[in-house]
Structure 1
Amino acid sequence: MSFATPTAVAESAHDHFFLGSDHERNERKVWLVIALTASMMLVEIIAGTLYGSMALVADGWHMSTHAGAMLITALAYRFARKHVRNRRFTFGTGKLGDLAGFASAVILALIALLIAYESVVRLTQPIPIDFNQAIVVAAVGLVINVVCAWLLKDDHAHHGHHHGHHQHDSERGDNCGHDDHHAPGMSRDNNLRAAYIHVLADALTSVLAIVALLVGSSYGWLWADPLMGVVGALVIARWSWGLIRDSGSVLLDASAEGEEVQLEIREAMAPTGSKVTDLHVWQVGPGHFAAIVSLTAPEPKEPSHYKALMAQIHELSHVTVEIQRQVT
């Protein structure tokens, strides 16, 4: 039994545009943050080399790791935007940001391990510290990180793209959908979130370093600095794990990501008297979800009927409906 309309073939050719609503703006912000971080990195390395300050050189190379990680974020935005209409990607490039976020989270975890290792070594083998110079370096780094955090603030949990469409299929898989324009749905851009966490991690290390150095210079406690390093590493590791968990869930199409959408679909189908026999919902981009809905009904209607009922679910950007007559 097929419920495909005559326009099915013509309307099946459409774009899977599942990028976030602020994709290009976020990309520009990340490039600006990279420019600020890289500039400060070069200044510290060059100045440290000229003036013989290992503190400056070390902090400069530390900033380079975060600049490199944020480069992953920027390149992911660029690639997703350039290939958004490439039909080789079955469900578009909206999830590329989650892949980049996952990679950045792994790098962040490695940075946390390196900080922890270096801190433990310093605890067991204390070295002399030029407190005044180190405080200046940490303070300058903190200022740069505060500016970068301000640029990226709040955008790591922004809205989805305004463009969505519903594609509904018959029980044989025929297409009979079209493009609709929906209001954006709430979402979290894990790609930008990764850059944001890298900036926060750098800011945290600067704050902890300043506190430890002030305490060390006042009381001569050389162990305060590496102890704060261990604390910072633990906090960064926790942030990293949260990002790995959330971006990994999206990459593995975890149903938990679309629980609210699933509930809305079931509520939309309830008045029809049909029974939802199978339902799969997964995220295909920031603010965009796809779904496969299997229904049985005593008197099945055309897919356009069920499509209209689900049109109010703004986050639902790609839908396949399978309909079967209920056997009594």
Structure 2
Amino acid sequence: MGAGHDHHGGIAGAAQRHVGRLWAAFALLATLMVVEAVTALATGSLALLSDAGHMFTDVLGIGMALAAITAARRGGRDAQRTFGLYRLEVLAALANALLLSGVAVYVLVEAVRRFGDPHEVTTGPMLVVAVLGLLANLVAFGLLREGAKESINLRGAYLEVLADLLGSVGVIAAALLIMTTGWWWADPLVAVAIGVFILPRTWRLARAALRILVQAAPEHLQVDAVRDRLSAVPGVAEVHDLHLWTLTSGMEVASAHLTMEPAAEVGSVLAAARTALHDDFHIEHATLQVEPGESPGACGRIEW
């Protein structure tokens, strides 16, 4: 029997390439979060408080992303952590989704209560701070957009910033509406709109994180297609015990047992199989066990 192991530089992690942008977004949003929270309490605006709450989760989410990236980098130095601490990124994304859902539910409940008893809001400071929040979120949105395509953790922070950006627009609209018409219900109405917008997106983020944690095959990879491709490798008679999962964002992992044809050469089969996984499916980390054809089932296969 032979075994092959392919371990390329991609295992370094997509999120680590965007640490500088994360720090910049973190500092900017943390400053505006404090300003929004203080102003929301001073003006009595639920919409602005909702926006400040979402900005708090932005800051916390980015902070968790930075902590996960740092821990993942350091975890690779411990010989007992053979996969490092890359799963911390996924756990941070799941915590992000749960926290943001909690904030959204709280705002929705408070907004419903206020519909029956509208509060007077001081619109001048509310409008100024909402504009500042919009500008800050636009900058943060630009900083995180590229990384969100590669990392589930950054995607969580990016979604929060997107929701907060739209929330700032809503707060500005509510302030202008109250200033021009005196319609106080605009404040809780905008708060409800923010909550309704963000909840489905946080649930999708949580679902993506849970798929990784339960080691389901990546949605963009079809297990049968991978099996068929490996079966087509010259010298491979049969493929079994095939497993595909995601370690963390951008790190798909595969393991498989390949039964060889009698005349096949181990080195050639391994090299061709690795190339097929890399070129056709962008799987850069693969552990392959090659077995002689005359001893089927000798590996003691396990059905999971």
Q: What interval of TM-score do these two structures reach, taking the shorter chain for normalisation?
A: 0.7 to 0.9
5+ residue gaps, structure 2, are: 297-304
Q: 2:43 and 2:123 mapped to 1: Cα distance?
A: 12
Equivalent in the alignment of 2:248: 285
- What TM-score comes out, normalization by structure 2 length? 0.82
Counterparts of 1:48 and 1:223 in 2: how far apart (Å)?
16
Instruction: Describe how 1:1-328 pairs up with structure 2 within 5 A.
Output: 2-3=1-2, 18-21=11-14, 23-44=15-36, 53=43, 58=49, 62=53, 63-158=55-150, 189-257=151-219, 259-260=221-222, 263-264=225-226, 266-272=228-234, 273-299=236-262, 301-312=264-275, 313=278, 314-325=282-293
- 1:28 to 1:283, Cα distance in 2 relative to 1, 3 A: same
TM superposition score normalised by structure 1: 0.76
The one-letter code sitting in structure 2 at the alignment partner of 1:290 is V
CA contact (8 A) 1:131 1:213 kept: yes
**RMSD, matched Cα:** 3.1
Kept after mapping to 1: 8 A contact 2:258/2:288? no
Q: 2:299 — aligned with what? A: none
Alpha-carbon distance, 1:236 to partner: 0.8
Deviation per residue, 1:33-74 (Å, 9 max, x gap): 11112222344566789xx55559947953334322321111
Does structure 1 retain, via aligned residues, the 8 Å contact 2:253–2:285?
yes
Uncovered stretches (5+) of structure 1, i.e. residues with no partner:
159-188
Aligned length, in residue pairs: 288
* Alignment match, 1:178: none
Instruction: Output the amino acid matched with 1:3.
Output: G
| Seq. identity, % | 30
> How far apart, CA to CA, are the structure 1 residues paired with 2:10 and 2:80?
13
| Structure 1 counterpart SS, 2:120 | coil
Partners of 1:103 and 1:65 in 2: CA distance? 10
Give 1:327 deviation, angstroms.
7.0
**Cα distance, 1:202 vs structure 2:** 1.5
CA contact (8 A) 1:18 1:92 kept: no
Letter in 2 for 1:285: T
Q: Is the 8 A contact 1:92 1:284 kept in 2?
A: no
Residue pair 1:257, 1:282 contacting (<8 A) in 2 also: no
* Range with greater deviation from structure 2 (264-273 or 244-253): 264-273
Q: Is the 8 A contact 2:244 2:252 kept in 1?
A: yes
Measured in 1, the distance between the counterparts of 2:32 and 2:260 equals 64
